[in-house]
Amino acid sequence: MQSLPSPVELERLVDTTNRLRAGIESVITGRPELIRTSLAVLLAEGHLLLEDVPGVGKTTLAKAIARSIDAQVGRIQFTPDLLPSDLTGVNIFRAQTHEFEFRPGPVFAHVVIGDEINRASPKTQSALLECMQEAQATVDGRTYPLPRPFLVIATQNPVEMEGTYPLPEAQRDRFMARLTVGYPSVDSELDMLDLQEDTDPFSRMRPVTDAAAIQGFIDIARRLYASPSVKRYIVGLVTASREDAGLRLGASPRASIQLLRAAKSLAAMSGRDHVLPDDVQELAVPVLAHRLLPSTESRLSGRTTQDVVTDIVARTPLPAAEPVARARRALG
Confidence of residue 324 (pLDDT cuts 50, 70, 90): low
Contact call for residues 69 and 214 (beta carbons, < 8 A): yes
Q: Compute CA distances 186 → 2, 4, 30, 121, whole Å.
A: 48, 44, 10, 37
140 falls in which pLDDT band (50, 70, 90)? confident
Q: Residues 271-297: what's their mean pLDDT?
A: 94
The pLDDT score that the predictor gives to residue 323 is: 63
DSSP 3-state assignment of 116? coil
pLDDT tens sequence across 218-259: 999 999 999 999 999 999 999 999 999 989 989 999 999 999
So what's the pLDDT on residue 21?
92
Q: Does the pLDDT of residue 329 top 70, yes or no? A: no
Which comes out higher in pLDDT, residue 150 or 165? Answer: 150
- The pLDDT score that the predictor gives to residue 161 is 55
So what's the pLDDT on residue 168? 79
Beta bridge partners of 137: 144
Residue 217's pLDDT is 95
CA 207 vs CA 22, 28, 40, 112: distances in Å:
12, 16, 18, 16
Q: Average pLDDT, stretch 108-116?
A: 89
Runs of H (alpha helix) within the chain: 7-25, 32-43, 58-67, 84-88, 122-125, 128-134, 169-172, 186-196, 211-222, 228-243, 253-269, 277-288, 296-301, 305-315, 324-331
Give percent above pLDDT 70 in the chain. 92
Question: Around Cβ 119, how many Cβ atoms within 10 Å?
Answer: 20
Enter the pTM of the model: 0.87
| Average pLDDT score, the chain | 87
User: Which 8-state DSSP code applies to residue 53?
Assistant: S
Q: Indicate whether 109 pLDDT > 70.
A: yes
pLDDT at 322: 67
The answer on pLDDT for 69 being more than 50 is: yes
Read off the pLDDT band of 62 (50, 70, 90): confident
* Percent of the chain's residues with pLDDT above 90: 46
